Chain A
Amino acid sequence: MADDPESDDLLIDSALHRVLRGETAAFEIVLRRFERPLRAWLASHVPPGVDVDEMAQRSFVAAFSRLSEFRIGTNFAAWLFTIARYQLRTETTRLRRIADYHARYGPDLLQRELDRRCGEPPTMWTTRLEHLQNCLESLDGSLRRYVSWRYDEEIPLDEMATRCGRSVAAVKKQLWKIRERLQQCVEMRMAAEGGTL
């Protein structure tokens, strides 16, 4: 295993050299390295109704296609996220031009706030993701099952209500509380690390 971030950079640079020489398969190394941080960043910033994976793939493909413009030895992550930001901006502009987008998908103010947060350091979102994972693991089993139903199994609210013998309204309240609790847990961990939103 690597114990030095610099060697990570060297490996990425080496992979990029190979890609530029025509060895497309070497791009897999780049994909593996940045797939998680890029998807975490995009998941946190793409507006409602937009597929995160599609945006991530579009960003990787754009980076691959324009690789000759990248100066190897400089910060590839920063370059990749700049491309992703551009892709995201293009997508949000497209959505704004759809007349009933906000009527169908969500408040304009939410999208604008997500846009505003695009300028924050992308690495922060990988850290948030890790904190959220830890918070989730520390959640009581009886609460965690709601998360599993909602996000892993993606079952409807009435099915959740049947499984736990409560009303749909009670399930909604429970989901709200769980999300709030996880949110607070992440914020506390970020604050403890000196991170800010």
Chain B
Amino acid sequence: MSPDERFAELWTDYLEGELDGPGLTELSDLLAADAGLVERAADLFQTHRLLGLISEEEPARQDHFVRDTLQQLPAAGDAFVSHVMSEVRSRAERRATGQFVRPSGATARSEWRIVFGLRQLRWIAAAAAVVLIGSLAFWLRSDDEQPIATDKEAPQQDPAAQVNVRLASSSQAKFFGELPPPVGSLLEPRREYVLTSGLVQIAFPDGASAILDGPAVFRVISPQTLALDMGRCSVHAPDGAEGFRVETPVTRVVDRGTRFSVSVGETSDTEVQIIEGAADIYGHVNNIDASSLTEVRLTDGEARRFASAGRLTTETVPFDATTYRRQLPDRVVSYVATKAADGGAEILESVTVQRGGRVVQIPVDELIPARLVWFRSKESRAFLCGGATLPASRADAVSDRSLITGVINPDGSRDPLTADPVMESGSGTPGLAIRFQRPVINGPGADVVLFDVQTFGNPPDGDAFHVSPLSFRDGLTSHTIRRYDLTMESPEAQVLTGLYVCFFKERVDSMAQLESLEYSMQKQGISFRGLAVGIDLSDMGYDVGEAVEGLFIQDAMDDNHHVDPVFIAGLPEKE
């Protein structure tokens, strides 16, 4: 047996974990005797390792790696919060040691402002301010706050399950330093949640619900108590949920069967507006026992502001019903898709939307298919994406149910259209046009859904695009969408199965060219997510009940990324 043949045997045994001690010595000796073999062994070892990596390369696996790594990061995030907290404490200490001097004639209220340095803190960015105020409120809480889980019969139960408060829904919610919790998930009791933008609705076990508008800092204290340290919430406590409470830094608002809104400013001033029913408001300062302090009952149509500056002050403010939010905006809520072998989403099965305030799940069979009728891009790039095999007609890539096949990267215009798009080869309007199989009737909320493939190198809120009528008339305008309902940060935006991208060597100037020009396919190594947005035809000026035959879509050309539609369909008329 030649040394090469022996190396092959020993090396294979080595990679298969079957090489014993003497074998390893023999392999080491072979390598020591021939530098060329060392290189070969290293080559083969590296290829072996990469083969292992390829077998692991599936979207779900990569997603797991990313989330696992993110979970290992909080120490640094904590350090940031600790830094902010140390700032707060040091300011408070300076107050205690008299370093902050009350100006002559200043009121206690203005001292409060000085101590907590609103003016001095203006340089801090908005997000940091949210954390700071939230952290301050947290710090001001006394340590003797009642524990939430007192059920000694069930000491092993998860505290979150005991409190049983869930995130019921969300709309474009962004949380400071973390991804939004998935809809339906239990919220951790007493944990500080910092909603930097967007909206979330929280459901309490007795039926009460609260909609929080970002920016807001809040905590779930108990099954009947929400602490709002900053921001605005709209509470609905139906029959059976009386006694539901909202704690703010200066008040405790106790529901007496009502709808009300609570707004807490950066200085902890609290404004309560009663929309229906009544609520009792107890004032407190620095968490001194509320029962010994002011109690005010407000009934519908009344509003009052509470401020604390050493002592509680209240003043009547104009009633403003618009401060109350009855529901989250109409939007695409989620979707269901089949899973491919790699665990990624592939074929759309249904889409759940909120239309006119009502959440409905629409099977894909009931959606109104849209067919691509025009495509133009002024430069060559990738214009198709999909699986290893594309649809026979490339135009079908947008209308088939696959979330990975699409006609992507159309050109567009920075300024939206104000006149009818031209759809003639050679001088056509850059962008793409679709026609619905049957007219879409403009109803409440979204009337058309658009899915887009996006990866983490792309804008996280989705690729901005203009949507325009195919035929303008008085009252009709283009509408620009810059933020999708389901963004890269939405837990409901699913990781897609692996996809290929088809690069065209030439620009595409017509549908005929889209169907005929050659392309080269390249499998994408990175994972993509399926983003979604609802298009409300009313935003383009269509009348309620008006029938719409098709739409023109242009990239907004606001960056180097282009919209990548993989599925567009009309929603059926609302029953």
A residues at B contact (CB < 8 Å): 1-4, 6-8, 11, 21-25, 27-29, 31-33, 35-36, 39-40, 43-46, 48, 52-53, 56-57, 60-61, 64-65, 67, 102-103, 106-110, 113-114, 117, 125-126, 128-130, 132-133, 136, 147-148, 150-152, 157, 172-173, 175-176, 179-180, 182-183, 186-187, 197
Contacts and interface: CB of A to CB of B under 8 A. Distances in A.
A129 B68 contact: no
Nearest to A30: B456
Interface stretch (B45-53, B87-95, B347-355, B427-435): B45-53
A106 B77 contact: no
B9 to A, nearest CB: 7
A152 B72 CA distance: 27
Contacts of B131: 22
Given A108-B28, A110-B42, A151-B55, A56 B65 contact: yes
A53 B489 CA distance: 24
Given A44-B46, A107-B28, A21 B125 contact: yes
B68 A57 contact: yes
A39 B56 CA distance: 11
A142 B48 CA distance: 19
Contacts of B527: 32
B54 A129 contact: yes
Given A29-B460, A57-B68, A106-B24, A132 B176 contact: no
A114 B49 CA distance: 12
Given A7-B559, A8-B457, A25-B489, A35 B52 contact: no
Contact of B50 (A2, A3, A114, A129): A129
B48 A1 contact: no
A24 B80 CA distance: 10
Contacts of A60: 69
B278 interface: no
B129 to A, nearest CB: 11
A178 B46 CA distance: 14
Interface string B425-445: 000000000000000000000
Interface in B1-50: 8-9, 11-16, 18, 21, 24, 27-28, 31-32, 38-39, 41-50
B50 A40 contact: yes
Nearest to A68: B76
A61 B73 contact: yes
Nearest to B503: A3
Nearest to A172: B12
B54 A151 contact: yes
B55 A103 contact: no
B356 interface: no
Contact of A24 (B18, B74, B455, B501): B74
Given A7-B559, A56-B69, 5 more contacts: A3-B382, A8-B457, A33-B526, A36-B62, A43-B46
B48 A179 contact: yes
A39 B53 contact: yes
B284 to A, nearest CB: 30
7 nearest interchain CB pairs?
A32-B456, A7-B560, A151-B55, A24-B177, A4-B560, A43-B49, A113-B42
A24 B194 CA distance: 13
Contacts of A25: 70, 175, 177-179, 489
Contacts of A132: 47, 50-51, 54
Contact of B16 (A108, A157, A197): A157
B458 A1 contact: yes
A186 B55 contact: no
A110 B35 CA distance: 10
B177 A43 contact: no
A43 B456 contact: no
B409 A110 contact: no
Contact of A110 (B38, B80, B127): B38
B127 A23 contact: yes
B50 A183 contact: no
Nearest to B72: A61
B113 interface: no
Given A24-B74, A103-B21, A32 B526 contact: yes
A1 B409 CA distance: 7
A32 B16 contact: no
Contacts of A180: 44
Contacts of B32: 109
Contact of B54 (A22, A67, A136): A136
B458 A32 contact: no
B77 A22 contact: yes
A110 B13 contact: no
Given A1-B408, A28-B179, A65-B76, A182 B52 contact: no
A24 B77 contact: yes
Nearest to A3: B381
B137 to A, nearest CB: 17
A114 B560 CA distance: 39
A11 B457 contact: yes
Given A110-B41, A129-B54, A29 B456 contact: yes
A129 B70 contact: no
Contacts of B96: none
B523 interface: yes
Interface in B356-394: 381-382
A169 B43 CA distance: 23
A4 B561 CA distance: 8
B128 interface: yes
B562 interface: yes
B28 A109 contact: yes
A122 to B, nearest CB: 13
Nearest to A153: B55
Given A3-B381, A109-B38, A130 B49 contact: no
Contact of A3 (B14, B55, B409): B409
Contacts of A186: 47
A132 B50 CA distance: 8
A6 B560 CA distance: 9
Contacts of A61: 69, 72-73
Given A25-B179, A152-B55, A106 B564 contact: no
B560 A3 contact: yes
Contacts of A35: 62, 65-66
Contacts of A197: 43
Contacts of A147: 51
A2 B458 CA distance: 6
A148 B175 CA distance: 41
A117 B41 CA distance: 13
B43 A183 contact: yes
B525 interface: yes
Contacts of A109: 28, 31-32, 38, 41
Contacts of A175: 12, 15-16
B465 to A, nearest CB: 13
